[in-house]
Structure 1
Amino acid sequence: MDVVPSRTGPDLRDAHRFAVEAAQAAGRLLRRGTQGEMHVRAKNDSGDVVTDLDLAAEELIVGRIRARWPEHGVIAEEGGEYAADDSWLWLVDPLDGTNNVAIGLPAYVVGIALCDRGSPVLGVVHDPVSDRTWSAIRGQGAFVHVGGLAGQPLRTLHRPVPAAPVLAWTQGHEVRRDDSTARALKVVLDSTARRVLQLWAPLLSWVMLARGDIDGIVGYRPEAVDLPAGMLLAAEAGMVVRALDGGCFDDRYGCPADRRSFVAAPPETIDRLVKLVTAAQWIEPQVRQLTPISLTDVGW
């Protein structure tokens, strides 16, 4: 996790402060907006939704980046893509947890990452509800910001190795209900974990892992934009991220969906979590033979 010497890129400490401030400004916009009436519409056929708040927060963050570093690439969750620089690239998830907001559940965050040739070097996650921000600079650690820009080193809660772990699960929007790998993984996790959280806000899960609140995360073909910020935060807090088979995880943005699947946990339990995940391969043939129940089957 050493800092890669910058070629002509931004000063990371300056970019860090900029990203924290931008995320917090978007958070204030979201906090005000969630107190009033929102316009919610379907985003695609997967059941995902988008609100006017997503678009407003994205415009705020992207506008600031474009004004400060017009030569940098920017890819944002709601479709904003500008100056696709293959060297320095900003990733913006203006409202991670839109489905929660749409049903009145106050569990959502703002995510921003900066990548150097695909690999994240800076990550910021801001929670507008608690007005707390978590951030990381590659090779320089993870930080928590309470009610302002100034950050303190993040102190991870070291939990004893659990008899049964509390885990978070995340999957990409395009994963089908009949995906046998996803179904087998869920069966194994539900059968072995004390609790499996499905928060509809992956960045919140990464924050909880970095803080030590949960014992691990399993991600299957997750979305690409919000992955780097959370992954870097957890890694800089001392967590280990591996591929589903236990091999090295490629943290570069733009990898195909089938290479983004991961397990993440503290160093002392990562091997146990990998064993749980790899056990899914033994039951997948049986799961594949089961026909999922559809809404039509039950007369919905």
Structure 2
Amino acid sequence: MLKELMFKNFITKIAVEAGGILREKFGKIRGIKFKDKFGDPVTEADYASEKHIISAIRKKFPTHNILSEEDGNHNRQSDYLWIIDPLDGTSNFTMDIPFFCVSIAVARKNKILAGVIYDPIHSELFFAEKGNGASLNGKKIAISNVSKSRLSRVMMAWNGINAKTLDVLKMFSDNGFAKVRAIGSAALGLAYVAAGRGDAYMSLGCKLWDVAAGVIIISEAGAKISDISGKKWDFQSSTLVAANKILHSKITK
């Protein structure tokens, strides 16, 4: 219990601190680099947030492993792994769209223990720890119970428009899903569905740092989780579906 409390206090503290760095730099970014063929951007804000988070983890837990979007994998042969996206929604950030977040999770032996997603613009902190439910700014949250496709709102994240993306969008159309939204932050999409602001979530081509914190938050909020084929989601999965059991079965059938 003491270790769980230590993780909660620490992980939320560093997420809020990193969010403060992002908030300070928002609207002031000049230099933008692109990492891949999809035009995935990275900025000085990504690096500054990441540096702060990793430094804090190294000071508090020097033997723990770290996996971070920009700085890669720091393997110390520990059972514990910190999974970090220092700025999820960088494209939004670079275009002065106030919809981005810090996402941090901690796992032990590939089981996520706790996760936090912090939106510094709206001062919203989503948090969950294994077995203790999910919360938004300290208040319990739960997924929606919408079961009809035509009434559901699906949050999506994908890495570029390709044949797979188009096939999935066609599947939603053929099965009567009327509203599909891509909001530019995989982590916040998961957090929003966990809080009932959407009814289902799907990610195509996701990386572990995109979804790790969101996975435990939406799981603890009551969602069923799998990959797109309905198989168990794990750290190697490249797709993710999360929803209540009825909608989940309609999406993965």
- Taking structure 1 as the reference length, the TM-score comes to 0.78
Q: Deviations over 1:29-78 (max 9, x none)?
A: 11111042432121222210001000000000010000000000011111
**Of residues 219, 227, 231 in structure 2, which corresponds to 1:243?**
227
Q: CA deviation at 1:208?
A: 1.0
2:38 and 2:146 map into 1 onto residues whose CA distance is 39
| Corresponding letter in the other structure for 2:198 | I
Q: Is the 8 A contact 2:85 2:209 kept in 1?
A: yes
1:186 and 1:266 map into 2 onto residues whose CA distance is 20
What pairs up with 1:229-240 in 2 under 5 angstroms? 229-240=213-224
Q: CA deviation at 1:269?
A: 2.5
| Corresponding letter in the other structure for 2:141 | R
- Taking structure 2 as the reference length, the TM-score comes to 0.92
Partner of 1:75: 67
Structure 2 counterpart SS, 1:50: strand
Partner of 2:203: 219
In the alignment, structure 1 residue 89 sits paired with structure 2 residue 72: no
Partner of 1:26: 18
Partner of 2:245: 267
In the alignment, structure 1 residue 13 sits paired with structure 2 residue 11: no
Please, what is the CA RMSD of the aligned residues? 2.0
Q: Deviations over 1:219-270 (max 9, x none)?
A: 22312212211011000001111232223x233x3x1xxx332221013422
Q: Deviations over 1:135-160 (max 9, x none)?
A: 11011111222xxxxx33x2326454
**Of residues 98, 102, 106 in structure 2, which corresponds to 1:110?**
102
| Corresponding letter in the other structure for 1:125 | I
In the alignment, structure 1 segments of 5+ residues that lack a partner are 1-5, 146-150, 276-300
In the alignment, structure 1 residue 167 sits paired with structure 2 residue 154: yes
Larger radius of gyration: 1
Q: CA deviation at 1:82?
A: 2.3
Q: Deviations over 1:169-219 (max 9, x none)?
A: 122x4x6x44x3332112222453221111221001101110111110122
| Corresponding letter in the other structure for 1:56 | A
**Of residues 181, 191, 194 in structure 1, which corresponds to 2:164?**
181
Partner of 2:35: 43
Return 161-170 or 237-246, whichever deviates more.
161-170
Q: CA 1:157 to 1:83, structure 2 compared with 1: closer, same or farther past 3 Å?
A: closer
Q: CA deviation at 1:161?
A: 3.0
Structure 1 counterpart SS, 2:208: coil
| Corresponding letter in the other structure for 2:11 | A
Paired residues in the alignment total 251
Q: Is the 8 A contact 2:105 2:213 kept in 1?
A: yes
In the alignment, structure 1 residue 204 sits paired with structure 2 residue 188: yes
**Of residues 117, 129, 132 in structure 2, which corresponds to 1:137?**
129
Structure 1 counterpart SS, 2:245: coil
**Of residues 141, 146, 151 in structure 2, which corresponds to 1:155?**
141
Q: Deviations over 1:102-137 (max 9, x none)?
A: 111111010000011122111100000111101110
Aligned-residue identity in percent: 24
